[in-house]
Amino acid sequence: MTEALLSATVPVFLVDGETKGELARDIVRLVIEEATDGLKTLRARFLAVGPMADKAEEPLLYLDGALFDFGRELQVSIGPGEVARTIFKGAISAIEANFEETREPEIVVYAEDKLMDLRMTRHTRTYEAMSDAEIAEEIAAGHGINSEVDVDGPSYDVVQQWNLSDLAFLRERARLIQAEVWFQGDTMYFKSRGQRSATELTLVQDNHILALQARADLAHQRTAVRVSGYDAHDRDVIDEEAGGEAIEAEIDGGRTGPGILQNAFGARVSHRVQAMPLNDREAAGWAQAEMLRRARAFVQVSGVTRGSADMVVASRLTLQRVGRPFEGGGYYVTRVCHTYDLAEGFRTRFEAERPTIEG
């Protein structure tokens, strides 16, 4: 098991593969964010004045294009020595200068990972006789990006992309079947949750954890999800349903949201109407995915640690000393925000979910 990293180490910055120590010296605040829908982003704020060789005065720094320029690769790692972790790798997409009376000038650099290419490309096109997995592979190939795809789902007679960016369209397809999108190394991934691997961490309240909020909420739980429509080819009604059994394969003990809802309030069925299936296979797949989405989010936690560079989206968490209903493992990280500033040092803010409570 990988232990959570506890460290207030200053981040290390590489620009086009070369370490730049002056950036660690001048960093004011660093924010790196990612969620299950993909596109990791960075925002880094630096002091823009400081010493420079052969200069009698302290000039403005970082605005001459010598270090920061559009499209340059920016990489950030954090942690002591051999256990340092790379927490961001992407390209610079924006540069901002801030001037305010009584404060030193600052420069803010924004960067995004390789999914930026998909975000900035908009299309209207038609996919015929393809599954969502095949659509994802075709989109990646169109950008010259390697892809790894592992999702279940129906094949569609026709899918249309209407004036959407490739990333927005891919996120929409992922949402329908509860897949996740992310970029790592030189590869785009489009996989279901069960096929996504990541680190495992144990977090202890009053040790690793600085703040935590945990909630088990029935508001969005349902005992079943039903998807209906009309099959014009077979001239027949479409009516598919997924129940609480959808989540059973993902758990090992505990009480699920659908089960508790049934016992406490009786049957509560949701009818999904925003997407119109064209056949039974589509309806069954969408009903299953929607039931999983709701059931997985029964227990939601948000917290802050002392700095966990090993934590990424899809990390599996075990929480200790957080009360019986929320104790134990099975948490899946859905959002991560690594921050560093001069006041708090390194912090990791996260959101996670699991489908059960204990007891």
- Segment 270-327, tens digit of pLDDT: 987 777 878 888 888 999 999 999 999 999 999 999 999 999 999 999 999 999 999 9
Residues 156 and 251 in one domain: no
Q: Degrees (nearest 5) of the Cα angle 329, 332, 335?
A: 140
The reply to whether 341 falls in a domain is yes
**pLDDT for the residue 356:** 97
The reply to whether 48 falls in a domain is yes
Residues 27 and 81 in one domain: yes
Task: Measure Cα distances from 47 to 28, 77, 105, 240 in Å.
Answer: 7, 20, 6, 58
Domain count of the chain? 4
With a cut of 80, say whether residue 51 has pLDDT above it: no
The reply to whether 62 falls in a domain is yes
Residues 63 and 162 in one domain: no
In single-letter form, the type of residue at position 289 comes to: A
Residues 90 and 18 in one domain: yes
What percent of the chain shows pLDDT beyond 70? Answer: 96
The reply to whether 3 falls in a domain is no
**Residue 58 per-residue DSSP state:** -
Q: Tokens for 325? A: 């209903």
**pLDDT for the residue 54:** 57
Residues 158 and 47 in one domain: no
The reply to whether 213 falls in a domain is yes
The edge-to-edge listing of strands for the beta sheet with 146-150 is 146-150, 187-192, 179-184
Average pLDDT of the residues of the chain: 92
Question: Model's pTM, two decimal places?
Answer: 0.92
What percent of the chain shows pLDDT beyond 90? Answer: 80
Which residue among 253, 274, 292 closes a domain?
A: 292
The domain of 340 spans 200-217+299-357
Residues 95 and 126 in one domain: no
Rounded CA separation 355/149 (Å): 25
7 or 339, greater pLDDT: 339
The reply to whether 4 falls in a domain is no
Residues 341 and 263 in one domain: no
Confidence of residue 236 (pLDDT cuts 50, 70, 90): confident
Closest CA to 67 of 85, 87, 92, 47: 92
CATH code of residue 166 = 3.55.50.10
Confidence of residue 4 (pLDDT cuts 50, 70, 90): very low
Confidence of residue 8 (pLDDT cuts 50, 70, 90): very low
